[in-house]
Amino acid sequence: MPTYRHCRTFTIASMLVTAVILAAGCARLPVSGALPVGVAVARVTKVEAASPFAWDPGGTKIALVSGSFAIHDPDADNSLPLGAVPSAVAWSPDGDHLAAAFPHDKDATLRIFNTRGALLSEADISGHVTKLAWRSEDELLVAAVTIDQLSFGADIKGVLYRWKGIGKPAATTLTETTVRPFIARWPLETLYHTFTFALSPLGDEIVYTRLQDPPAFSPYVKICIRNLGSGAEQEAAIAAVTSAGAVYSADGERILYGDGANASHWLDPWMGKELATFPTPGRTIALSPGNRYALIDGRLYRDGKEMVSFPATSEGAFAPAGGRLLLRYGGNLYMISGLSEPETDKKVPAGSERLLTLRKWRSEGLISVPDYQSARERMPLQ
């Protein structure tokens, strides 16, 4: 169980390094180790610190915040401004729509734009949005955190909204915790960070973080898997509150999560089996589409081996089409290109409807994990 002290030490150290580099006014991305042949780093543009950014599925446009929220074309080096600063952004799977969450007071407005910047739809929700993900072309998933300060602490609620782009988003509370006063006084960003999720590549499950604050122990998060079809949940792991949570493997069968203190772990959550570890706590995690590359706390791994490292506080996003990585560090956005990935790494079984059914049944215990595995193995790959 990672301790709060570990997390705090790591965070302070990272902040000191960051402060030194920022003080130097450096616009060049610090790199430790030699970049492999064919891999290049280039600065894309200036961005707001801690602001969201996202590749479009084709890997040609980037939603980012540079002064204002905009769709940026790195090849043409031009931007289409969209207005206020969002807390989260996400492109639809076909790249035709861009969703963004704009905070106001304790709440947020969800907006959907087309690629020309026209506003197509909007809806108000309660809470601060920490994550957006499109489940399909028609359904947006939203993680929002509400914090009610109380005389004896605070009530922190994590709500998952499902929005079809019209009408009122449907809300499901996934986590609600009353925390002690000293936790209630943490910075808001830290409290918001306790609830986030990742969507499985098949769009049927999420893996999310659930804050726990047991008396006499350090607070921590549970990493839980929820099948969106059945609503059935299972706890997969626990981690420090500084964990980035988890992301899914390309086939949706494994998760990579950071314990927030010591290491990051590849886990088969259904068998409860740890498959591999990385010696870094996993406070920021990004995976390439075929899983060959992983960026964890600024360290870039290829096939499980560290290639090169960037500052630990840098955050990254791989292009959905593969080959490139966006990395935000120190108020700048960088692109790392030349990250080739074999197509075979992205294969999943054909007949996704059948696979989704099997996964739903597994989540509800209607079939056992060996039943599922055996049925899945009989399905051809696409």
The answer to whether residue 342 forms part of the interface with other proteins (CB under 8 A) is: no
Nearest one of 350, 357, 311 to 332, comparing CA atoms: 311
Token pair belonging to 368 = 């056992």
Q: How far is 264 from 250, CA to CA, in rounded Å?
A: 17
- Choose one: 148-156, 293-301, 337-345, 351-359; the region binding other proteins (CB under 8 A): 351-359
Residue nearer to other proteins on the CB measure, 340 or 368: 368
Q: Are residues 373 and 84 in contact, defined by beta-carbon separation less than 8 angstroms?
A: no
Token pair belonging to 115 = 């690629």
Binding footprint of other proteins, residue count (CB under 8 A)? 12
Q: Are residues 314 and 329 in contact, defined by beta-carbon separation less than 8 angstroms?
A: yes
Residue nearer to other proteins on the CB measure, 68 or 368: 368
The answer to whether residue 8 forms part of the interface with other proteins (CB under 8 A) is: no
- Choose one: 94-102, 210-218, 316-324, 362-370; the region binding other proteins (CB under 8 A): 362-370
- Judged by CB under 8 A, which of 75, 77, 105, 353 binds other proteins? 353
Return the CA Rg of the chain.
20
Residue nearer to other proteins on the CB measure, 304 or 365: 365
- Choose one: 89-97, 102-110, 154-162, 364-372; the region binding other proteins (CB under 8 A): 364-372
Number of Cβ within 10 Å of residue 351's Cβ equals 13
Q: How far is 159 from 139, CA to CA, in rounded Å?
A: 16
Minimum distance between the CB of residue 212 and other proteins, rounded to whole angstroms? Answer: 24
Minimum distance between the CB of residue 227 and other proteins, rounded to whole angstroms? Answer: 13
The answer to whether residue 358 forms part of the interface with other proteins (CB under 8 A) is: yes
Alpha helices in the chain (DSSP H): 4-23, 181-184, 188-192, 352-364, 369-377
Q: How far is 252 from 235, CA to CA, in rounded Å?
A: 16
Region of residue 274 (left: phi > 0; alpha: psi -120 to 50; beta: else): beta
Alpha helices in 143-245 (DSSP H): 181-184, 188-192
Task: Please work out, in degrees rounded to the nearest 5, the angle formed at the alpha carbon of residue 268 by the alpha carbons of 226 and 217.
Answer: 70
The answer to whether residue 367 forms part of the interface with other proteins (CB under 8 A) is: yes
The answer to whether residue 357 forms part of the interface with other proteins (CB under 8 A) is: yes
- Choose one: 56-64, 127-135, 166-174, 359-367; the region binding other proteins (CB under 8 A): 359-367
- Choose one: 15-23, 200-208, 234-242, 355-363; the region binding other proteins (CB under 8 A): 355-363
The answer to whether residue 293 forms part of the interface with other proteins (CB under 8 A) is: no
The answer to whether residue 181 forms part of the interface with other proteins (CB under 8 A) is: no
The answer to whether residue 232 forms part of the interface with other proteins (CB under 8 A) is: no
Binding site for other proteins (CB under 8 A): 353-354, 357-358, 360-361, 365-367, 371, 374-375
